[in-house]
């Protein structure tokens, strides 16, 4: 499979890129930090080298992205893993905070989906996997300080359902995984001192499996992946 994963410089994104490469897939790892991507490529094991694409998705380079995908030979799977979390009480959140959350967690995904759509439409087994959060999952426990983050993740979940319907005729499956507690830097920012039951590497193994096989069983689903509540 030919796979593009965003937010690949750390945490679950990095571990998933390594797991997919180890399983023999062709991976483009996208993130803003060139040095972290270089380290990732050097650590990767598998029959295909991990290709890296340093890019800020708030200002995506369309030419660079299309060139990378053309060199890859197409695109079967897009994993929208990049995200940002601002932990601040609602009354302290500024308009700039809300805009920053919206830009990274929603609009950046929208921009990327528009850019890669022609490649996905050519794939016989296209799958878009959006990484949402239990914070944006309706009816789940909510926590102070995460209003902006959870709101944007809720929007990403709704986008998942809408696109699955809109792109069904093109054969593009769209799903989202709403994550609970995983031991990442982002979790540490949201819940300082909390010890999660799952590591990034453990969650990455599930991500890799679901990215490759999930569209055979699901489409338009927002699936909670949580063994505990922080």
> 203 near 12, Cβ under 8 Å?
yes
Residues with Cβ within 8 Å of residue 51, at least 6 apart in sequence: 26, 27, 28, 29, 41, 68, 71, 72
Query: In this structure, is residue 161 part of a structural domain?
Result: yes
Rounded CA separation 207/177 (Å): 9
pLDDT in tens, 79-120: 999 999 999 999 999 999 999 999 999 999 999 999 999 999
Query: In this structure, is residue 125 part of a structural domain?
Result: yes
pLDDT exceeds 80 at position 181: no
Q: Which of 119, 149, 167, 207 is catalytic?
A: 149
Rounded CA separation 103/110 (Å): 10
Q: Check which CATH number belongs to the domain holding 145 and give it.
A: 3.40.50.720
* Total domains in the fold of the chain: 1
Rounded CA separation 171/229 (Å): 35
Return the pLDDT at 129: 98
Active-site annotation holds for 149: yes
Query: In this structure, is residue 25 part of a structural domain?
Result: yes
Query: In this structure, is residue 230 part of a structural domain?
Result: no
Q: How confident is the model at residue 193 (pLDDT cuts 50, 70, 90)?
A: low
Query: In this structure, is residue 99 part of a structural domain?
Result: yes
Query: In this structure, is residue 61 part of a structural domain?
Result: yes
- Domain hosting 15: range is 2-225
Please state the rounded mean pLDDT for residues 223-227: 82
> 53 near 64, Cβ under 8 Å?
yes
pLDDT in tens, 121-136: 999 999 999 999 877 7
Query: In this structure, is residue 8 part of a structural domain?
Result: yes
pTM over 0.85: yes
């Amino acid at each position: 499979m030919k796979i593009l994963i965003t937010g690949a410089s750390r945490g679950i994104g990095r571990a998933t890129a390594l797991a997919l490469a180890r399983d023999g897939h062709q991976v483009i790892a996208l993130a803003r930090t060139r040095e972290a991507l270089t380290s990732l490529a050097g650590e990767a094991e598998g029959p295909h080298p991990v290709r890296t694409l340093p890019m800020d998705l708030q200002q995506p380079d369309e030419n660079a992205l299309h060139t990378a995908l053309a060199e890859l030979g197409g695109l079967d799977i897009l994993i929208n893993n990049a995200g940002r979390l601002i932990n601040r009480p609602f009354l302290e959140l500024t308009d700039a905070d809300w805009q920053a959350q919206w830009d990274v967690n929603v609009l950046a995904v929208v921009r990327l989906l528009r850019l890669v759509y022609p490649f996905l439409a050519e794939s016989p087994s296209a799958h878009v996997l959006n990484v949402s959060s239990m914070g944006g999952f309706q009816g789940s426990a909510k926590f102070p300080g995460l209003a902006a983050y959870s709101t944007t993740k809720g929007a990403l979940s709704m986008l998942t359902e809408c696109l699955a319907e809109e792109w069904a005729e093109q054969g593009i499956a769209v799903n989202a995984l709403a994550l609970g507690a995983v031991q990442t830097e982002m979790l540490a920012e949201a819940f300082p001192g909390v010890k999660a039951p799952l590591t990034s590497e453990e969650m990455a193994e599930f991500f890799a499996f679901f990215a490759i096989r999930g569209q055979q069983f699901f489409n338009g689903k927002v699936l909670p992946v949580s063994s505990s509540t922080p």
